[in-house]
Amino acid sequence: MKNQTLLAEWPTIALLAATYALWVVAVFVLPEVSLWLAVALVAITAAQHSSLSHEVIHGHPFKSAFWNAVLVFPSLDLCVPYLRFKDTHLAHHNDPLLTDPYDDPESNYMDPGEWEKLAPWLQRLGHVFWLRGDVAAIRGGDRRILESWLLQIPAVALVVWLVLLSPMPLWAYLIGAYASLSLLKIRTFLEHRAHEKSRARTVIIEDRGPLALLFLNNNLHVVHHAHPKVPWYRLPAMYRADPEGYLKRNEGYRYRSYAEVFAHYFWRAKDPVPHPLWRR
Evaluate whether residue 106 is within a structural domain.
Answer: yes
Cβ atoms of 53 and 76 within 8 Å: the answer is no
Evaluate whether residue 38 is within a structural domain.
Answer: yes
Evaluate whether residue 31 is within a structural domain.
Answer: yes
- Output 242-250 pairs: Cβ under 8 A, ≥24 positions apart: 246/204, 246/220, 246/222, 247/204, 249/199, 249/200, 249/222, 250/199, 250/200, 250/201, 250/202, 250/203, 250/204, 250/222
pLDDT at 127: 61
Global pTM reads: 0.92
Evaluate whether residue 7 is within a structural domain.
Answer: yes
Q: How far apart are CA 79 and CA 254, in angstroms?
A: 30
Domain span at residue 223 reads 2-265
Evaluate whether residue 270 is within a structural domain.
Answer: no
pLDDT averaged over 10-residue windows placed end to end, the chain, 280 residues: 58 97 98 98 98 97 95 96 95 89 88 80 67 87 95 98 98 98 94 93 96 98 96 98 97 96 91 82
Residues with Cβ within 8 Å of residue 16, at least 6 apart in sequence:
49, 52, 61, 71, 72
pLDDT at 70: 96
Domain count within the chain? 1
Evaluate whether residue 206 is within a structural domain.
Answer: yes
pLDDT at 280: 58
Evaluate whether residue 277 is within a structural domain.
Answer: no
Evaluate whether residue 98 is within a structural domain.
Answer: yes
pLDDT at 248: 97
